[in-house]
Amino acid sequence: MSARRRTVPSLLDDPGIRRARTSPRRFLFAVPPLAGHINPTVAVGAELARRGHQVAWTGHRPSIEPLLRSGSRIFNATEGDFGRRLPDIRNDWLGLRGLAALRFLWEEFAVPLGHAMMPGVEKAIDRFRPDVVVADQLVLAAPVAARHREIPWATSATTSSEFARPLAGMPKVEQWIRDQMAAFQLDHGIDDLLDLRFSDHLVLIFSTGALIGDISFFPDRFAFVGPALGRPATGPFPWDWLDGRPAALVTLGTLVGSSGRRFLGAAADAVRELDIQAIFVAPPETVADPPPNVLVRAHVPQLKLLERVSAVVCHGGHNTVSESLSQGLPLVVAPILHDNSVVARQVEAAGAGVCVRFGRVRPDELRTALATVLADGPHRAAAERVRESFAAAGGAAEAADRLEKLA
């Protein structure tokens, strides 16, 4: 779907002074305890608030609160045992690969999270009285609660992996996932069954066809709005450490923890012999004896840093990939979990990066891959094409436009 372009300039097109084209409405974002799924909603929520609408979030408060601006309205929806078990669930999930990880995602995370969130989401809806509920694809409780109350709901699809049909060759696995959602709906009194990952009103996809591939066959309710950027920068950074040489950002996202130690060690060895600088986003203790051209920081202002680097090494998390390509930066992708592999293949198919093995990559392989994308060649040109597509799609402003129409 091509981005909607306006032919008559208007003050309303200036994002700094944009206001609601409709009377003020209320939007409730229901998100899982995963930073990569929360971040895009932050930018969309901020855009809606700038237009005069009221915005709130519901989910696991300790996961949501650090990512939002101070004073944001949050309704906690994961009280009790599930919230306490979250660290163990994450660690167990990260230790799995392939179909085992997919099965765990649904049986141990998505469905239990849905049951745990249902009372809190219902309470949030009753208290906040939203005109639209925006449900992340992993928050099964939100569309069910919205349907019970006959409130329009939109899907927030924070990864492009679902739209490539990664399980098309495994129809029994696809059916098993649909069965999980069907059972959840029946448990909560709905027998008019839907695929809860895809709203029948509006599906916001934070990507475009430049990365996903052919999107011409999707119906109009599937809105490919591109990345919703603008999450707050966090933490100081020693900018004077950058000395003008090409620089690379190396990050494995927020889920990896100790399982990334081996990969980060290989990455440190890989850049040791390159005339570049590298910023590793990791706890300092996970990278033993880093070379002088490596800076290890537990936290970085990622969006600002991406303006200063020349390439990115990452695990294929959709946010990091999208933010990197929004700057026209080529990537080296080492996928860890199932959707990471799909996104990595999309990056490679778009020509914007190179894939390596997360668990078994050697320093020389990683060195070659990084040197390849750092060269001013086809990977950088392809990343620039994706950047242009993202910019044309509209991002948070286009998502807000679509949500206003739904309201």
Distance of CA 270 to the CA centre of its chain: 28
Where residue 22 falls among pLDDT bands split at 50, 70, 90?
Answer: low
Retrieve residue 366's tokens: 């990683």
Q: Considering the chain, what is the average pLDDT of its residues?
A: 90
pLDDT digits (tens, 9 = 90+) for 132-189: 999 999 999 999 999 999 999 999 999 888 888 777 778 999 999 999 999 999 999 9
Supply the DSSP string of 254-295, one letter for each residue: TT-GGGGHHHHHHHHHHHHTSSSEEEEES-GGGS-S--TTEE
Q: Mean pLDDT throughout 206-230?
A: 94
Of the given ranges (134-143, 254-263, 292-301, 338-347), which has the lowest mean pLDDT?
Answer: 254-263
CA dist 126 and 388 (Å) reads 42
Confidence of residue 233 (pLDDT cuts 50, 70, 90): low
Cβ neighbour number for residue 385 with a 10 Å cutoff:
15
Distance CA 178, CA 183 (A): 9
Alpha-carbon gap, residue 253 to 172, rounded angstroms = 31
What is the CATH topology of the domain spanning 11-230+393-406? Answer: Rossmann fold (3.40.50)
Mean pLDDT along residues 195-201? 96
Claim: this prediction has a pTM higher than 0.85: yes
Instruction: Round to whole Å and give the CA distance between 401 and 404.
Output: 5
271 has pLDDT over 50: yes
Q: Are 407 and 24 within 8 A, CB to CB?
A: no
CA atoms of 229 and 144, how far apart (whole Å): 28
Q: In this structure, what token pair is assigned to residue 32? A: 């899982």
How many CB atoms lie under 10 A from the CB of residue 312? 27
SS3 152: coil
CATH 3.40.50.2000 residue ranges in the chain? Answer: 11-230+393-406, 239-390
What's the fold here for domain 239-390? Rossmann fold (3.40.50)
Q: In whole angstroms, what is the distance from residue 124 CA to residue 118 CA?
A: 10
Contact 187/114 with Cβ under 8 angstroms?
no
